[in-house]
Every structure is written in structure tokens, then in C-alpha cells.
Amino acid sequence: MTEIQTKTTVDIELIQDMGGDYMVVAAAKVSTNGITAKEFASPEKGEENKGLINYLIKQRHGTPFEHSALTFFVHAPIFVWREWHRHRIGFSYNEESGRYKQLEPVFYLPDRERPMMKVDGWKPGRPKFTRCESDLIYSQLCSNLKSSYEYSYANYLRNLDMGIDPGLARDCLPVGIYSGCWVTCNPRSLMAFLSLRVHEPESIFVSYPLWEIDMAARTCEELFQKGWPITHKAFIENGRVAP
């Protein structure tokens, strides 16, 4: 049986970024200040104008948040990418290709604490889950997943060994396999993503995302908060509604 690796996390790294709170201010100021708005394009102007940033978020003036950018490298299972890639606007992607390279045997297993047991009253659109209290069920689940991963990865290697198109040989690989992808977005598109992919009960519009993309989104949110602390604070304080 092929050796595979398993992971319980989604790894995210900030590759580069541009702008900051002050660029939000400067871009917003162009409407009233015109040509002189660029005087606001220096870091201390963000803090001085936090009232303006709060106002923009609250009143949903979204465009000033588009003049900044972040590029993440993300290592996540395919079932996470299946959801992430549905974010079309203000998101750019370049992903590892099963057609052009041999995919690494790295697969997802849930952490012991991941809420995973269906509860009564579960319904589409608002799924609810609790912690698995049974060690037996958890270990059976992990064993089921892992044995499929191993079984299928072995078949994948056999297919490649016969000289089959890698884009066909991989059809047996489970969606739990990891794939690397570069993701570039801007604060506006990122806040739209966060509003849908992080579950926070106090949000004005509460979302019920898949646990694994929620975990990924929270990491993005932390990195975002570091570079745009005032914007992030306003986002939180106004109920996580993307402007």
C-alpha cells in the first residue's frame, strides 16, 4: 500500500500585498477632493480617518476597498477549492494541475474536534453539527477516509505507470487530496468571501459554511486584519456585511 500523508489544516501564506487602510481613505477622498486626494495616500492617514472608513463600510460604499490587493498561497483539499473557486469577482487563481504534474499523496483528515455529527433539525442551507463524542466513530471515519485515499492513490500510480494521460489517470483520486493555489483578491472581494465563509452568530446575515473553508477563511481574515486593521474593525462592528 502506498505511503500517504494526512493533514488536518489548511495552510495559508501571504505572498504579497498592496495598500492599506490609508489607500481606502485616499480612494474615497477623490470624490470630494479630486486631484488632491493623493495626499491621503500615506500610512498615518488611515488612523486619522477611521470615521470615514467606518462610514464607508456602514453605508456600503464598496469601491474604495478595491484599490488594495493581497496574494495568498493556499494549500487546501480539493473539496475546499470547489467552493472557493465559485468566488468569481475580484478573485484570481492559479492552481496546481493534475494534467501537468504528479499530484502529491497529501490528504485531509478531520481534527478530533471538528463538529461532525448531524443533529436533529438539520436542514439544507443551515446545517448544524456537534462534536463527535464517540472515539470509535471518529476512528472509523478516519479509517474509511484514509483507506480510500490509499487505495485510490495506489490506483492513480498504477494508471500513470501504464503511460496514461495524467488528466485521466487522476479520475480516481478523492476530493480530500490537497492542491496548492495562488489566490489574489482585494479587501472588498475578500470581505464578501469572509461574510459568506465564516460562521459568526452575531453577523447581520449569518452564514453556515463548510467547516474547512471557514477554517481557511479565518486565517485569511487574520492576515487581512494585520494589513487593514481599521477596515477590519469596521467590518466586524458593522455586522460583517461586505460593502
CA–CA separation, 75 and 203 (whole Å): 27
CA–CA separation, 26 and 69 (whole Å): 15
What amino acid occupies position 203? S
Count of residues of this chain found to bind its own copies when the rule CB under 8 A is applied: 103
Query: Residue 231's closest CA among 18, 87, 69, 55?
Result: 55
131 tagged catalytic:
no
What part of residues 79-108 is at the interface with its own copies (CB under 8 A)?
A: 79, 81-82, 85-86, 88-89, 91-101, 104, 108
Does 117 sit near its own copies (CB under 8 A)? yes
Does 45 sit near its own copies (CB under 8 A)? no
Pick between residue 129 and residue 225 the one whose CB is nearest to its own copies: 129
CA–CA separation, 103 and 84 (whole Å): 20
Q: Which grid cell sits at 11? A: 495552510
List, in sequence order, every residue forming a beta bridge with 159; answer none if it has no partner.
Answer: none
Determine the length of the chain. 243
Which x/- pattern, by CB under 8 A, does the window 192-211 give for its own copies?
A: ----x--------x----xx
Minimum CB distance to its own copies, residue 233 (Å): 19
Sign of dihedral through CA atoms 212, 218, 220, 223? Answer: negative
Does 14 sit near its own copies (CB under 8 A)? no
What amino acid occupies position 57? I
Instruction: Answer whether 211's CB lies under 8 Å from 5's CB.
Output: no
Minimum CB distance to its own copies, residue 232 (Å): 19
Minimum CB distance to its own copies, residue 203 (Å): 10
Pick between residue 182 and residue 218 the one whose CB is nearest to its own copies: 182
Minimum CB distance to its own copies, residue 156 (Å): 8
CA–CA separation, 209 and 117 (whole Å): 15
Q: Which of 126, 197, 218, 240 is catalytic?
A: 197
User: Exactly one of 51, 112, 118, 131 binds its own copies (CB under 8 A); which one?
Assistant: 118
Pick between residue 47 and residue 158 the one whose CB is nearest to its own copies: 158
Minimum CB distance to its own copies, residue 169 (Å): 8
